[in-house]
A and B are shown apart, each in its own frame.
Chain A
């Protein structure tokens, strides 16, 4: 499903010095796998995640999703991949504040040019799955953190991606809501054929994962199966 080979990411510091964010990363994650990426802050986890999600480009190296080489694709083609194949769950939810819950859930479907009635039905179904159907007309500012994260997960469910990428999805939540979200993530992972990659500090999530990839200073230092 996902294949990285010889990925380097070099950042330029303001003083002109070059720093390796990622150094010669070789990684393959198969379809239906559930992997957790762990490591201390500043280790390059998020950089790796951004590259996996086609939000950022590596300085060098090859990245393939479903056998398609990302490096030489146009913005239009990469946008289509982000739209159809990948879905993000962020620590900070990343919902559009001006849109209500159901409109937020619909967003990926809008860019897929799915007609209003169909996408509304899909979005409603996804909100039901996370138990927020009675809040569908609420703006994010009127929802709790846990509810906002559930809306974000509903957005992922509605878009039916091949790969779900999570960047500290429970990082901003209190213990009770965290457990709630963990249960929803468990359900997500159980979906047939879906690949889930989570960056996390949360050892409970890491232990849930079938595979753990440890990163330090831009290098993969451990890669084991639970």
Chain B
């Protein structure tokens, strides 16, 4: 009985292939987006977390609290400066080394090629704390601090010079109205971080950045703490230190907190994406309901004949319901395949490891099954309620 129901359902669905395909398109797109969203979310999370984890848990990050930076923008005395961070790291014995940084967007150019870039004012400690390695030339040392030298991030080097080659070192670029000599190019940083992409940065000595932007205001700093010293304790101690010494409230975060934040954030965004995808699943369900309603109307006579031959109402319900479920399941399977293809394609484009979580496939498959049942039930019930003599009259 079951295999016959299945066979007949497939037969009547294949009778109008085009209509059937249109009806399951909604489910297909819905499921594909659920699978795709899950995969993209997981891959992006993995990549951004890998970036944070690569820096190590013995690192803390400090920045001025938002309200302070806005209110005290023009008061030179109330801002956190590079010199404050240097003093902090000598005053606190548990700090091994620290790297202050000033970041600002402006245009850079090289012989007619103009690009917008993130200018990062750094010290010689930057490479250690940010785990940056040199590809060509050399890094900025403590002896370069008073010089107009710069090191380029991998991507911005490509943008300004067409392609990365050892011919770039020694050439000069213009930042605002000042000339800077390129002394090196960093290796491409694999870790994805949309808000702070080091591959798009031009690195200059922090002293030069202060002059260029006419402000000593630090964007943030990173500090490495001694092995065995608790990161949480370091956070509290450093916050206290800045309040006591400078009356500044500096926000210090441990690497663990940043990882947790990133995880939270990706969870929220994947929930939003999932909600959007479920709406398209529901729309897909309506498509199936529509096809089934039309089908019930067209097949009134068939229903009448079956009933005259002894089919119970429940047989008719089963017949139409299984058609709807098969329809949505086919849509679901095609959607899963499409979703996997999309995830793989994006992973190649975005240069990250494709992750297709098994639960996304299970969930979306179950969802398509459930939607078939939910949206197929009404038409199936309607079919079973048709009076036999009315159904037989239809020619």
Task: Scan residues 381-395 of chain B and give those whose CB is less than 8 A from a CB of chain A.
Answer: 387-389, 392, 395
B388 to chain A, nearest CB (A): 5
Q: B313 — which chain A residues lie within 8 A by C-beta?
A: 75-76, 79
Contacts of A96 in B (CB 8 A): 302, 305-306
Enumerate B303-319 residues with CB–CB distance to A below 8 Å: 304-315
Cα separation A159 to B304 with both chains bound (whole Å): 18
Provide the residues of chain B in CB contact with A79, threshold 8 Å: 307, 310-313, 315
Known A-B contacts A98-B12, A111-B315; the reply to A50 vs B389 at CB < 8 A is yes
- Note all chain B residues with C-beta closer than 8 A to A53: 308
Q: Is B4's beta carbon under 8 Å from chain A? A: yes
Chain A residue total in the interface (Cβ 8 A): 28
Question: Is A76 a contact of B312 with CB atoms below 8 Å?
Answer: yes
Question: Contact between A94 and B392 (Cβ–Cβ < 8 Å)?
Answer: yes
Residue total for B at the interface (Cβ-Cβ under 8 A): 25
Partner of B311, one of A56, A90, A94, A111: A111
* A154 at interface by CB-CB < 8 Å: no
User: B4–A110 contact, CB under 8 A?
Assistant: yes
The residues in A between 129 and 186 inclusive whose CB is less than 8 angstroms from any CB of B are: 155, 159
A113, B311: Cα distance in complex, Å? 11
Point out the residue from A55, A97, A108 that lies within 8 Å of B392, measured CB to CB. A55
Across-interface contacts of A38 in B (CB, < 8 A): none
Indicate whether B147 reaches chain A with its CB closer than 8 angstroms. Answer: no
Interfacial chain A residues near B392, Cβ < 8 Å: 55, 90, 94
Stretch binding the partner chain, chosen from A24-32, A80-88, A190-198: A80-88
Interface assignment of A208: CB less than 8 Å from any CB of chain B: no
The residue of chain A having its C-beta at the shortest distance from the C-beta of B312 within the complex is: A79
Does A36 lie at the interface of the complex (its beta carbon under 8 Å from any beta carbon of B)? no
When the two chains form their complex, are residues A107 and B314 in contact, meaning their CB atoms are under 8 A apart?
no
A209 at the interface (CB under 8 A from B): no
Give the interface centre of B305, B306, B389 by most chain A CB atoms within 10 Å.
B305
Q: A75-B313, A94-B392, A96-B302 are in contact. Are A55 and B308 (CB under 8 A)?
A: yes
Which residues from chain B contact A111 at a C-beta distance below 8 Å?
A: 306, 309-312, 315
Determine whether B211 belongs to the interface, using a CB cutoff of 8 Å to chain A. no
CA distance A90 to B304 in the complex (A): 12
Residue picked from B11, B301, B308, B311, most chain A C-beta under 10 Å: B308
Is B389 in contact with A56, judged by CB distance below 8 angstroms?
yes
Given contacts A55-B388, A113-B1, contact A83 B309 (CB under 8 A): yes
Least Cβ–Cβ distance between A143 and chain B, in angstroms: 16
Residue of A nearest to B301 (CB): A94
Q: For residues 259 through 282 of chain B, which have their beta carbon under 8 Å from a beta carbon of chain A?
A: none
In the complex, A66 has a CB within 8 A of chain B: no
- B15 contacts chain A at the CB level, 8 A cutoff: yes
Q: How far is the CB of A51 from chain B (nearest CB, A)?
A: 10
Residues of A near B4 (CB, < 8 A) are 110, 116
A residues in contact with B12, CB < 8 Å: 98
Q: If the complex has contacts A50-B389, A55-B392, A113-B1, are A98 and B11 also in contact, measured as CB distance less than 8 A? A: yes
- Closest-by-CB residue of A relative to B5 is A110
Interface residues in chain B, defined as those with a beta carbon under 8 Å from any beta carbon in chain A: 1, 4, 8, 11-12, 15, 301-302, 304-315, 387-389, 392, 395
Top 9 closest pairs, chain A to chain B, by CB:
A83-B310, A79-B312, A111-B310, A55-B388, A108-B309, A107-B309, A82-B310, A56-B389, A94-B305
Supply 5 A–B pairs (Cβ within 8 Å), ascending by A.
A55-B392, A56-B388, A83-B309, A83-B310, A113-B1
